[in-house]
Amino acid sequence: MINLRERAHLVPVVLFASLLTVGPLAGQSVLDRTPNLSGGWTGEEGTVYFNFLHRFWRVDVADDEKKIINSPTFLVGVSLPGRVLLGLNYASNSLVDGEEFNETEFYGRWAFLATSAGAPVDVAVTAAFNEAASSGDFELSLAVPFGPVTLHGVGRLLGQVAELDDETGWAVGGGAVIRLTDGVAFAGDVVTLGDRDIAVGDGTHELDVAWSAGLQLAIPATPHTISFHVSNARTSTLQGSSFGDGQTRYGFEFTIPFTLSRYFGSRQSRSTGDIAGDVAAEVTMNDQLRYTSETVRIRTGQAVRWTNTSSLIHTVTADPAKASNPSSVSLPSNAQPFDSGDLRPGDVFTHTFSEPGTYRYFCIPHEGAGMVATVIVSG
């Protein structure tokens, strides 16, 4: 039988090898979740994700001397068909088990309901093994959008909570993301264990309710997002984000895309869409997360052709049901929504416009970065 503790060091190697088998990559957007909750995120199919989170706090080491301690958590994940995400979180200076400095959580997540697929809410289940606590952990997460506000809720079952003398524990929590613009949001959350009393010597000590609050930002003209936040939790694993220790930490999380298709292999481009009309305008999609031109004008019955000249996956989406921000989409009253689906580098999408009016459309992976454009169709 495989000992997960003994094989933990092999997992980063396996995941890195999987980078060579997938297409263009994009980073997880922190604008869709809170600092300590995933929001049921599973990413875009065929994408490998890497982000890192660092939290800092000051401790006393001697008279009038202070030391800054850093607890980083690194996330690696592979998004598979069916809205499934597999990966790991690796953290040092963890608080999960007082006898181990490092913490590795292997996880799998399935989003069986997703707003990106037309559902009214996002619902996902996560199963994880935390090697520091030798614990099998589970989470049910819910995200409910209300215009610019998305409410989050979680329920967790923790197989062995090391801080509770290896007892089974449970936790519940919630949070919210408030979108101010396409690229700016405020977010916060709280999570509490059902039993927060731990034995200390001959007495007991109560663990703190975990909390966080952050400013979530999209970095203009890039696929990166960054979170500046405060929290009393050290790590972002299911266990590490379920309790605090009374110490306020200041940190950031940065999402990093790897677009290895530009270095490894090549693929044939494909053309999709409706080409019934004469192509009257050409639009390209670039690595700066922009459509060029951002506004084109055509006549009824003519078509627009989009070409992905970047190294990233983009979409051409004019469907209000798939937009995080209602202002990203507008359609004439008689027009039908349309969506190109994923356009990989070199892919082409063509759409013929049969109704006059103004069409505002966006890129699903990069809506938060402001990748929005307009087609104006005259009669």
Domains and CATH numbers, the chain: 4-260 (2.40.160.40), 267-378 (2.60.40.420)
Residue 187: pLDDT band (50, 70, 90) is: very high
Higher pLDDT, 210 or 346: 210
Helix, strand counts (H, E) of the chain: 2, 24
Q: Return the minimum-mean-pLDDT range out of 35-39, 75-79, 229-233, 258-262.
A: 258-262
Q: What is the mean pLDDT of the chain?
A: 83
**Cα distance between residue 353 and residue 335, in whole Å:** 9
pLDDT grade, residue 53 (50/70/90)?
Answer: very high
Q: Which two tokens stand for residue 198?
A: 């731990």
Local confidence band at 299 (pLDDT 50, 70, 90 cut-offs)? very high
Please tell me the predicted confidence (pLDDT) of residue 168. 79
Q: What is the pLDDT of residues 83-114, one digit of tens each?
A: 999 999 999 888 776 667 889 999 999 999 98
* pLDDT given at position 198: 67
Q: Give residue 93's pLDDT.
A: 84
Q: Tell me the β-bridge partners of 305.
A: 282, 350
State pLDDT tens for residues 148-182: 899 999 999 998 876 566 577 899 999 999 988 87
Give every CB contact of residue 171 below 8 A, 6+ residues apart in sequence. 154, 155, 156, 158, 191, 192, 193, 194, 242, 243
Q: Is the pLDDT of residue 311 over 50?
A: yes
**Is the alpha carbon torsion for 178, 196, 3, 99 positive or negative?**
positive
pLDDT band at 118 (very low <50, low <70, confident <90, very high): confident
pLDDT at 213 over 90: yes
Q: pLDDT value at position 95?
A: 76
The predicted structure's pLDDT at residue 366: 86
Mean pLDDT of 72-85: 89
> What pTM does this model have?
0.67
- Report pLDDT for 267: 55
